[in-house]
Structures are given as C-alpha cells and as structure tokens.
Chain A
Amino acid sequence: APKGLWCPAYGLAALAPTMQRNILIASAKQSILSKLHLPDRPNITQPTSRGALLTALRRMRMQHMDKAVSPEMPHDSSIPHLGVQEYEILSFAESGSSTSRSTRLHFHFTQELAGSTEILQATLYLFWAIPGPGTHPVTVRLLQPDPMGLNMTVASETRLEVQRAGWVTLDVGQAVRSLFGQGSQKLTVELEVVEDRGSPLLAGHSDSHWPFVAAQARARTSHRVQRR
C-alpha cells in the first residue's frame, strides 16, 4: 500500500489547491455546527441591537464583579470544569400580552441547548423606570406550561418594592432547570402592579434597557463506562 494510505489526511496534498480548500472549509463548517449541536447554520431574523447587547454584557460583568468581592458568596459553580464545554447565554425578552396592570415577557431557549446542557445559573435582569414618587409594589411571577402544555402554572412568585429607577436581578435558575426538565424551552415572566399607576417597567424602557436572562450552562457529560 502506498505510504500513509491509512492516515486521516491521506491524499489531501495530492488534490488541486481549490479542491483542498473546499474540503477543509466543509470540514470546518461541519465540525463547528456539530460541536454547537446545530443541525444547520441559524437564520437570524431579528439580531439584537448593539445598545442592548453592550448594556447586557456590561451589566453581567458588573454582576460578576459584585459576586467576586462579596466574601459570603458561595463557591462559584461557574468555575470552568476542565474539558467540559461551557456556555454563557443571553436571552432577550419577547413582549407578550399586557394589560394596564400586568405585562408578560417570553424568553426562548433552543432545543439544542435545552437537550445537551445543564443550567448552572440563570439570572433575570429587569430595568425599572419609575413613573412617579413613592414605592411601587410589583409582583414577579415565573410561569411555565403545565405538563399537558395547555395552561400556564405559576412556578414561583416574588414581591418587589420598587423605590427608584435602575436594574434589579432575580435568580431564575431553578425555573429554567425545571423548564428544561419538562422538555419546554419558553420561560414566561409576568409583572403585575397593584394599581394602574403605570408599570414601572415599560414606562421608560428603551432598547438598551430591555429585559434579559443571562444563563450559564455546561455540556452534559455522557456517562463513560470504564472497562478494565
């Protein structure tokens, strides 16, 4: 047999440069898509505005720094595990139904991520723009479809007293893990104010203050059987 016949790159050098290039590009595309668990390249319908992306990345970095300096912070589970692929995901809200007293926001996660990763942390970032003086009580409900997928059930409810404009964060890790566990990929957040004095959220929301969920996930490791 000719030298190197069994070798992985055998024969590539003998091809014309154009053919070599095409083969290498096809191999790179297939390798990237398969390691991102994507069946094909995504078609982007509405890219996130630069303002929203920069604000979100800035907020997350400040959040990480706050955690880093606070001594009582428990061991940060997002410390990278050698060899296991980790993900940071930014999911921006999609507007849902709203009334004079309540607003719904939807956050979608792809099936590929839901099926191949475990959620380590997930944080909801909301920006309050205060419509007036005093304190504004707001109820934040995390909703998820019931097992039949027909109705929405309340996964958790938190009451906030909003006193000034600015960002607030809420831990939604358990709710997202439970969603993925049920095979669902949509987290719905309902914000309700007690009287129609205008929702502190949407009064002044702008592109760079749009709500988002920042999640950290890790590839599920398949159980390797050690054969002795």
Chain B
Amino acid sequence: GIDCSGDSGMCCRKEFFIDFKEIGWEDWIIQPRGYHMNYCAGLCPLHMAGIPGLASSFHTAVLNLIKANNADAAVDSCCVPTQRRPLSLLYYDRDSNIVKTDIPDMIVDACGCT
C-alpha cells in the first residue's frame, strides 16, 4: 500500500489520529490515549484497478479482458482498505467494571484498488 503524501490523487492511505481527550472520552477509555484510525482516499483509474491488493487469479484475467475490450463498461474501481488490525481497548463499562478487549479490523494499515 501507499501512504498519501503531497497532492497525489491516486489511491493511498491517509493518517488520521483521534485523541480520546479531544472528544471527551478519556474518562471511560483507560487505555490507549487515542486511536490511529487512518482511511483510504484517492482515485483508481482503470489501469490501476485491482492493484495492489488483489491476488492474480481468474478474476484478474476476466477484469483485464473487460478493460481491453470495453473500457467504458467496466465498473468503478474503489480505493479501499486492504490490510487492517485490531484496536486494543481498556475501558469502563456502564457498571464501572473494567473491560479489556481487542476490536478487530479497526486500524487501516494499507489501501488498494478493488
């Protein structure tokens, strides 16, 4: 995956950090202090469709045929997360119990074109 830098309009990963103190959640979330959410942005022109992040397969061959024979009919290719990891939280629940859990797929590590 590619990290966004400068004004590249191509599909890339944008860093985005949420400080729990800034949103008034620091009283019930004990750890961590914030959350590196990150997100995907940018365009996927047809010649980038399916890379990186799509293993070469029969699907790729079909897609290439569509591109070659009928570029206009090919559907949109989107810039989406291709790698994510869990967010570990230690927090108070409504009964002031202390709960630790790992929420899957919360941090975007890489982006790619569908």
Contacts and interface: CB of A to CB of B under 8 A. Distances in A.
A223 to B, nearest CB: 19
Interface in B38-94: 39-45, 75-76, 78-80, 87, 89, 91-94
Given A6-B76, A9-B79, A13-B41, A88 B96 contact: no
B93 A38 contact: yes
Contact of B104 (A38, A45, A85, A90): A85
Interface in A1-54: 1, 3-9, 12-13, 24-25, 28-29, 31-32, 35-36, 38, 41-48, 53
Most buried by A among B45, B97, B103: B97
A108 B97 CA distance: 8
A28 B28 contact: no
A71 interface: no
A31 B78 CA distance: 21
Contact of A89 (B16, B37, B87, B98): B98
Interface residues of B, number: 37
A32 B103 contact: yes
B76 A4 contact: yes
B40 A48 contact: no
Contact of A41 (B25, B37, B100): B25
Contacts of B35: 28, 32
A108 B104 contact: no
A30 to B, nearest CB: 12
Contacts of B97: 89-92, 108-110
Contacts of B104: 83, 85
B2 interface: no
Contacts of A47: 27, 92, 96
A41 B76 CA distance: 37
Contacts of B89: 32, 36
A26 B78 CA distance: 22
A88 to B, nearest CB: 4
A86 interface: yes
Contacts of B99: 36, 87-90, 113
Contacts of B106: 31-32, 35
B96 A48 contact: yes
Contacts of A24: 16, 18, 37, 39
Nearest to B75: A6
Given A28-B35, A28-B37, A87 B96 contact: no
Interface of A: 1, 3-9, 12-13, 24-25, 28-29, 31-32, 35-36, 38, 41-48, 53, 56, 83, 85-92, 108-110, 112-113, 185
Given A41-B28, A109-B97, 8 more contacts: A4-B78, A7-B79, A9-B39, A9-B80, A24-B16, A48-B96, A56-B98, A109-B95
27 contacts: A1-B76, A3-B76, A4-B43, A4-B44, A4-B78, A7-B44, A7-B78, A8-B78, A12-B41, A24-B37, A28-B35, A28-B37, A32-B103, A36-B101, A36-B103, A41-B25, A47-B96, A48-B98, A83-B104, A86-B101, A87-B101, A88-B100, A90-B98, A90-B99, A91-B97, A92-B96, A110-B94
CB-CB nearest 7 A-B residue pairs: A7-B78, A108-B95, A90-B98, A88-B100, A42-B94, A91-B97, A87-B101
